[in-house]
Amino acid sequence: MQKGKINVTGEDIFPIIKKFLYSDHEIFLRELISNAVDATQKIKILSSKGEYEDELGNLTVRVKIDKKAKTITVSDAGIGMDKEEIDKYINQIAFSGATDFIEKHKDDANAIIGHFGLGFYSSFMVSDSVEIISKSYKTEKPAVRWECDGSPDFTLEEVEKENRGTDIILHIDKDSENFLEDSKIEELLNKYCKFLPVEIAFGKEKEWKDNKSVETDKDHIINNTTPAWTKKPADLTDDDYKNFYKELYPGSFEEPLFYIHLNVDYPFNLTGILYFPKFKNTIEIQKNKIQLFQRQVFVTDSVEGIVPEFLTLLHGVLDSPDIPLNVSRSYLQSDRNVKKYQAILPKKLPTV
């Protein structure tokens, strides 16, 4: 068993991570699932390039709660990590596995979400300790288990693990036990992960049988992996756009007046669909109905000061790979890429 200290660049970084890295502690789930999706996209890329020849198998990312053990587990069947990779990407804070992977596979890695290397550590905002159990796609590499209690001290040892991929196990702290409720996790998954490009399973589907609700053997998939804005307009019908509007706003009974499908590649990358809603009176006007995404990962729906003022009256989705994920709304407002959108986006919407 290896013992050591995590290589950080300053003292007391864990309290900073626990309290201030993200404005909302609930972000931990988005970050862990984003990492799991990244790992899954990586193995798919390697398979497509012939660098991984085994069967991919079921690539669904799974989220599980164990109320008795007070744990939340996020599991993937992605690329996995070996001992050396955990040393590099986990023990040395601020390295990013996604950054290295993108550099190596520049032409194929557009689907990789992570850029910062700090997302995993958001798990310590809600946990007393965190475990990683991972088996690399490199078959000659043994599986490893890493554990840390929120101090710079960690343990790393070889273990048995049958399948390729990674399990992240969070031992939830006393102040965060609300995250052990199924309804809370379901709420967060629907908020942050509803349109991720890899299937996310949480529990099983239920059906009504013998006058009661019973679980089936079918996974409860919480996300639509191919939302309308990721498709070409030529492949969508008017009904597709209207149905997607209902998917975004389940409580809406009115159809939008019209919609615009955006696909901007210069001077920045931006896709999305914007809807002009029907208003019967001024009381019905609601701002902040635009949802902002980064590669299908939800960032915020509080867009005042982020998109031009007139757009806050519209509904819909904007998605850009350049929007930062691990920041507060105030930081978004001052981000240089966001300022580009504010200046140029109105010119891309001549119909509005």
> Which residues 6+ apart lie within 8 Å of 224 measured at CB?
194, 195, 247
Q: For position 41, what pLDDT does the model report?
A: 95
Q: For position 60, what pLDDT does the model report?
A: 98
Residue 351 pLDDT greater than 60, yes or no: no
pLDDT in tens, 63-115: 999 999 999 999 999 999 999 999 888 877 644 555 565 566 556 545 444 44
Domain range list for the chain:
2-206, 228-348
- Encoded tokens for 208: 């009504």
pLDDT-wise least confident of 9-13, 29-33, 177-181 = 9-13
Residue that wins the pLDDT comparison between 176 and 268: 176
Query: What does the H/E/C string look like for the chain?
Result: CEEEECECCCCCHHHHHHHHCCCCCCHHHHHHHHHHHHHHHHHHHHHHCCCCCCCCCCCCEEEEEECCCCEEEEEECCCCCCHHHHHHHCCECCCCHHHHHHHHCCCCCCCCCCCCCCHHHHHHHCEEEEEEEEECCCCCCCEEEEEECCCCEEEEEEECCCCCEEEEEEEECHHHHHHHCHHHHHHHHHHHCCCCCCCEEEEEEEEEECCEEEEEEEEEECCCCCCHHHCCHHHCCHHHHHHHHHHHCCCCCCCCCEEEEEEECCCCCEEEEEEECCCCCHHHCCCCEEEEEECCEEEECCCECCECHHHHHCEEEEECCCCCCCCCHHHHHHCHHHHHHHHHHHHHCCCC
Q: Given the structure tokens 């908020």, which residue do they identify?
A: 191
Give mean pLDDT, residues 42-62: 95
| Contact between 44 and 53 (Cβ < 8 Å) | no
- Encoded tokens for 44: 């798919």
pLDDT in tens, 221-253: 999 999 999 999 999 999 999 999 999 988 777
Helix axis angle, 27-48 to 97-104, nearest 10°: 30
| Contact between 270 and 246 (Cβ < 8 Å) | no
- Encoded tokens for 139: 């078959």
pLDDT in tens, 291-350: 989 889 888 887 777 677 777 778 899 998 877 665 444 455 556 666 666 666 666 664
Q: For position 283, what pLDDT does the model report?
A: 45
> Is there a cis peptide before residue 197, judged by omega within 30 degrees of 0?
no
Q: In whole angstroms, what is the distance from residue 29 CA to residue 103 CA?
A: 26
Residue that wins the pLDDT comparison between 132 and 308: 132
User: If 0-12 CB within 10 Å is exposed, 13-18 middle and 19+ buried, where does residue 63 land?
Assistant: buried
Q: For position 257, what pLDDT does the model report?
A: 87
Residue 118 pLDDT greater than 50, yes or no: yes
Q: For position 299, what pLDDT does the model report?
A: 85
Q: For position 128, what pLDDT does the model report?
A: 92
The CATH fold of domain 228-348? Ribosomal Protein S5; domain 2 (3.30.230)
Q: For position 21, what pLDDT does the model report?
A: 53
Confidence at 352, pLDDT banded by 50, 70, 90:
very low
Q: How open is the CA angle 290-295-297, to the nearest 5 degrees?
A: 65
| Contact between 271 and 250 (Cβ < 8 Å) | no
Cα–Cα distances in Å, from 259 out to 152, 251, 276? 51, 18, 6
Query: Which of 175, 139, 155 lies closest to 86 in space, CA to CA?
Result: 155
Query: Which of 308, 305, 341, 304 lies closest to 322 in space, CA to CA?
Result: 341
Give mean pLDDT, residues 186-206: 94
The CATH fold of domain 2-206? Heat Shock Protein 90 (3.30.565)
pLDDT in tens, 243-300: 999 999 887 778 888 899 988 877 778 899 999 887 665 545 565 588 989 889 888 8
Beta bridge partners of 270: 264
Q: Are strands 200-209 and 61-66 parallel, antiparallel or unpaired?
A: parallel
Q: In whole angstroms, what is the distance from residue 300 CA to residue 168 CA?
A: 25
pLDDT in tens, 136-150: 999 999 999 999 988
Q: For position 339, what pLDDT does the model report?
A: 64
Compute the mean pLDDT over every residue in the chain, rounded to the nearest whole number.
82
Q: For position 94, what pLDDT does the model report?
A: 45
Query: Which of 3, 28, 20 lies closest to 149 in space, CA to CA?
Result: 3
